[in-house]
A and B are shown apart, each in its own frame.
Chain A
Amino acid sequence: MSAETTIETAGAPRGAADAATGYNFAYLDEQTKRMIRRAILKGIAIPGYQVPFASREMPMPYGWGTGGVQVTASVIGPDDVLKVIDQGSDDTTNAVSIRKFFARTAGVATTTHTAEATMIQTRHRIPEAPLREGQILVYQVPIPEPLRLLEPRETETRTLHALAEYGVMHVKLYEDIAQHGHIAKTYDYPVEVNGRYVMAPSPTPKFDNPKMEMSPALQLFGAGREQRIYAVPPYTRVRSLDFEDHPFTIQRFAEPCALCAATGVYLDEVVLDDRGGRMFVCSDSDHCEERRAAGHRGTMLAGAAGTENDHA
Chain B
Amino acid sequence: MREGALLEARGLTKLYGPHVGCADVSFDLFPGEVLAIVGESGSGKSTLLSVLSTEMEPSDGAVSYRMRDGAVESLFDLDEARRRVLMRTDWGFIRQDAAQGLRMRVSAGGNVGERLMAVGQRHYGKIRASAEDWLARVEIDVARIDDKPTTFSGGMRQRLQIARNLVTHPRLVLMDEPTSGLDVSVQARLLDLIRGLVAELGLAVIIVTHDLAVARLLSHRIMVMRHGRVIETGLTDQVLDDPHEPYTQLLVSSVLAA
Contacts and interface: CB of A to CB of B under 8 A. Distances in A.
Given A174-B113, A245-B125, 20 more contacts: A163-B80, A163-B81, A165-B84, A167-B115, A167-B118, A168-B114, A168-B118, A171-B103, A171-B110, A174-B127, A175-B107, A175-B110, A178-B128, A178-B145, A242-B122, A243-B124, A244-B122, A244-B123, A244-B124, A245-B123
A171 B146 contact: no
Contacts of A5: none
A179 interface: yes
A243 B122 contact: yes
B114 A171 contact: yes
A60 interface: no
Given A163-B81, A167-B117, A174 B109 contact: yes
Contacts of B117: 167, 170-171, 174
Interface in A160-187: 163, 165, 167-168, 170-171, 174-175, 177-179
B175 to A, nearest CB: 23
Interface in B83-141: 84, 103, 106-107, 109-110, 113-115, 117-119, 122-125, 127-128
Interface string B141-172: 00001100000000000000000000000000
A167 B146 contact: no
Contacts of A246: 124
B81 A167 contact: no
Q: Which 3 A-B pairs have the closest CB atoms?
A: A167-B118, A170-B117, A243-B124
Interface residues of A, number: 17
Contact of B119 (A167, A168, A179): A167
A246 B126 CA distance: 12
A159 B81 CA distance: 9
Tell me which of A170, A242, A243 has the highest count of chain B C-beta atoms within 10 A of its own C-beta: A170
Contacts, number: 51
Interface of A: 159, 163, 165, 167-168, 170-171, 174-175, 177-179, 242-246
A165 B118 contact: yes
Contact of A174 (B110, B115, B119): B110
Interface of B: 80-81, 84, 103, 106-107, 109-110, 113-115, 117-119, 122-125, 127-128, 145-146
B88 to A, nearest CB: 8
A182 B29 CA distance: 46
A240 B117 CA distance: 16
19 contacts: A163-B81, A167-B115, A168-B118, A170-B122, A171-B106, A171-B110, A171-B114, A174-B113, A174-B117, A175-B106, A175-B107, A175-B110, A177-B124, A178-B107, A178-B110, A243-B123, A244-B124, A245-B123, A245-B124
Contacts of A242: 122
Contacts of A243: 122-124, 127
Nearest to B79: A163
A175 B109 CA distance: 8
Nearest to B114: A171
Contacts of A165: 84, 118
Nearest to A159: B80
B80 A178 contact: no
Given A245-B123, A245-B125, A167 B110 contact: no
B123 A178 contact: no
Contacts of A178: 107, 109-110, 128, 145-146
B84 A163 contact: yes
Contacts of B107: 175, 178-179
A171 B84 CA distance: 18
Nearest to A178: B146
A167 to B, nearest CB: 3
A24 to B, nearest CB: 44
A170 B109 CA distance: 12
A171 B128 CA distance: 12
B124 to A, nearest CB: 4
Nearest to B121: A170
A147 to B, nearest CB: 13
A177 B109 CA distance: 11
A142 B117 CA distance: 28
Contacts of A168: 114, 118
B99 to A, nearest CB: 16
A165 B128 CA distance: 20
B112 to A, nearest CB: 10
A242 B122 CA distance: 8
A153 to B, nearest CB: 14
